[in-house]
Structure 1
Amino acid sequence: MAYAEEYAPTTADPARIGYALVPLLDYFEGKTLMYVRGATCRGYVEWRTSMVRANHANARTEARRTRTVSSATARKELGVLSAAIGFWHREHGPLESVPVVTLPAKPEPKPDVLDRSEMARLLGGALGFYQLEWCDLETRQLHRTLKRDHSAINRHTARFIVIGRYTANRPGATMKLRWMPNTVGGWPDFKRELLYRKGSEVVESKKRQPSVRLGRAALAHFRRWKAIDDRAREDLARRTDGMATSFLCVVHWGGEPIKDIGKSFVTALDFAGLPRHYTPHVLRHTRVTWWVEAGLSLEEVADAAGMTTQMVEEVYWHRSPHFQKRAAEA
């Protein structure tokens, strides 16, 4: 528990570590480090991949009820176990023998990517727009019209989508954005035209969160949102005769922070007519892919996205106009 209590709070996403530790503690309860070896790690993977995914356990259809935890998830959880052992060895050890955590094979990287039309539909879906189609029985012509359900407008989801579309932010980092410098999340710097992705007291980890430059379109959105939130906060302060502490988060619901964007993101997918297998992380994959397709260098993409050049090369580089260009013409 030392890893959870001492290290996790200093990371950008403590909840991610917490989610991984829950099944690990269930499986390894009462076991010592001597129990951590290849056979037990493989047993953990077998045990985890036989479990129904929590977010599908109460789904309406039988197909969703039977979706199980993936080996990729088990791999991430075992990675947390390995990090926890290493942390104890460094901070509370040394251990006489440091066990090696055996990980399952790394899955082939297959990032989902939206094209620009799909991204526009997704943003429209977050704002309640959907496409209605019908066929004229006499002429057999297909007709389409754009409709809007005002009760399904989720402006916080629209902000979340726009930020991901322009910055390749990780979802967790976007949810923690504030309008001013703070210790737990990032903030936009309008003078320098930068978006800081992490709080001033967040310790740098393998999931690097470097600052990203904001282009003209992104800056226009941020400035408009800030003006809206500043007016809302001032109005609230007048009505409550005090200092309003709401409307400080960039992505908020009624001025208050949001912990999870998942439900409203699925609603946006449904209104956009996009499959539900897309997750909020698709925004990051899409932005990085668009940077690569625009002809940016490996180093430029890696720097803007907060990735290693190796990750960019392995997962995205085949979509670059520079990919094997000289080899093809040699």
Structure 2
Amino acid sequence: MPRKINPPSLHLRSKRYNSHGKLTHQAQWRIHDRGERIDTGFGESDFELAKKALTEYIVAQHNEKPVPTGGSPEAVLIGDLISYYLKRKAGKINALSKDNHRDFVARFDRLIDFWGDKYVIEIDENTCGKYQKFGKPLADTTHRKHLEYLRAVIGFGAEKRKVLMNGLSIDYDMPSKSKPRPDWYARYQIARLVHMAYRRKYKNGNRPIGHLARFILVAVYTGTRSDRIQRASFIKEAGRPWIDLENGIFYRSWSGENVADNKPADPVRIPEGLLSHMRRWHRNGARYLIEVNGKPTGTCRSAFRRLVIEVLGKEEAVGYNRHTLRHTCATWLMKARHPKDDIARYLSCTTEIIEKVYGHFHPDWMKSTTEAFGSHRQKRVSDLQRKKIRHEESMSERAEDAA
């Protein structure tokens, strides 16, 4: 089994001081790639630019020659198509959040390592099975995600005529798609999570995870995806979702953004209670929705996970993560009998998704079916009452005849 090779990644080189304690070098982002250290030239506050430099570095590693047009599946290397895909999609890649960008880089680096020297025609059930066991074996859900990226690369190459499929159907042999998880937080659990995030303090009074409380409140009351909450700003600026505090609207995508079809990010009106909190946060000096010491930051999955385990307990916390907050928003609205079409617009998804994933939370779910049993009983009672009335009338008539 080949040894695991870590993908190129960004690391922050700390500030450096001389023997007299004088600062000689500012903190700087560097690319670590298989023992090499490449300076990006960007400081600690320029993570977005450093992330773009990492994307360009990865593309350059697999972009020695342009991909010709009109190649056959037997002649086009998958590595060339991956390079072409990354180059054309660089804008979307750089718009990913820190966590999502890291995951994206890791997936494509693994794809390149295995598929880079193979031809499109070689993609079949056998090679897809080998890919799952390549290096560190992948779980079925992760394996499916990697193959979905591979399928997107091949589909994009075919769309741009970099490879002519000529009716060729590729068997990716993907594992079954995992079922939606309808896990959700109860209101008392959300209250405990927010309270714990706000309460924890260092000795100097700083709140190390206070930003998680803001994240939880915004996610559960707007159903917005994690990466958009983490990038949001109270001041309108390029490349960031914008919160219009004056009109109470959360613009979850920015002007000119090319939003993925499967993850729309339409504007949403902010609930009054949450809007009051947001105005107070901004009034107290916050420029970004999620920030630490005045600088925008993310909500580390591991930090959030530790908070959930601490508050709910290890056993109860199984299956709960940041995305569960979005499920919670939908569930609460369904339980409140809110119209499904409105919920779908609020969450930027389809009514079909709301019905399929959250339909059973609605109090009226299958109500007509269960009432059918009651109506059958009512009908039987009515029939008995009618028989009793007819019997009484008959006995009355007989009494009159006898008299």
Partner of 2:323: 281
- Looking at structure 1, the residues matched to 162 and 289 of structure 2 have their Cα atoms a distance apart, in angstroms, of 42
Percent identical: 26
Partner of 2:272: 216
Q: CA RMSD in A?
A: 2.6
* Paired residue secondary structure (2:257): coil
Name which structure has the greater RCO, CA cutoff 8 Å, separation 6+: 1
Code of the aligned partner of 1:126: A
- Looking at structure 2, the residues matched to 70 and 310 of structure 1 have their Cα atoms a distance apart, in angstroms, of 28
Residue 156 of structure 2 corresponds to residue 87 of structure 1: yes
TM-score normalised by the chain length of structure 2 = 0.63
- Looking at structure 2, the residues matched to 181 and 87 of structure 1 have their Cα atoms a distance apart, in angstroms, of 33
Aligned-pair CA distance for 1:261: 2.3
Partner of 1:303: 345
25-34 or 205-214, larger mean C-alpha shift: 25-34
Q: Within 5 Å, give how 1:186-265 maps onto structure 2.
A: 186-205=241-260, 206-229=262-285, 248-265=287-304
Code of the aligned partner of 2:267: S
Partner of 1:37: 124
Partner of 1:170: 225
Contact 1:302 1:308 in 2 (8 A): yes
- Looking at structure 1, the residues matched to 161 and 257 of structure 2 have their Cα atoms a distance apart, in angstroms, of 22
Residue 184 of structure 2 corresponds to residue 113 of structure 1: yes
Partner of 2:375: none
Partner of 2:110: 23
Code of the aligned partner of 1:214: I
Aligned-pair CA distance for 1:8: 4.5
- Looking at structure 2, the residues matched to 115 and 299 of structure 1 have their Cα atoms a distance apart, in angstroms, of 23
Given the alignment, which residue of 319, 323, 326 partners 2:361? 319
Given the alignment, which residue of 64, 67, 89 partners 1:7? 89
Contact 2:337 2:363 in 1 (8 A): yes
Q: Within 5 Å, give how 1:123-162 maps onto structure 2.
A: 123-128=194-199, 153-162=208-217
Residue by residue over 1:134-193, the C-alpha shift from the partner in whole angstroms, topping out at 9 and shown as x without a partner, is xxxxxxxxxxxxxx9966652211111111111111111111101123332211122332
Code of the aligned partner of 1:329: E
Q: How many residues align?
A: 278
- Looking at structure 2, the residues matched to 31 and 99 of structure 1 have their Cα atoms a distance apart, in angstroms, of 17
After superposition, the Cα gap between the structure-2 partners of 1:71 and 1:111, relative to the gap in structure 1 and judged at 3 Å, is: farther
Larger radius of gyration: 2
Instruction: Structure 1: give runs of 5+ residues left out of the alignment.
Output: 52-68, 131-147, 230-246
Contact 1:109 1:315 in 2 (8 A): yes
Instruction: Structure 2: give runs of 5+ residues left out of the alignment.
Output: 1-82, 373-403
Contact 2:234 2:288 in 1 (8 A): yes
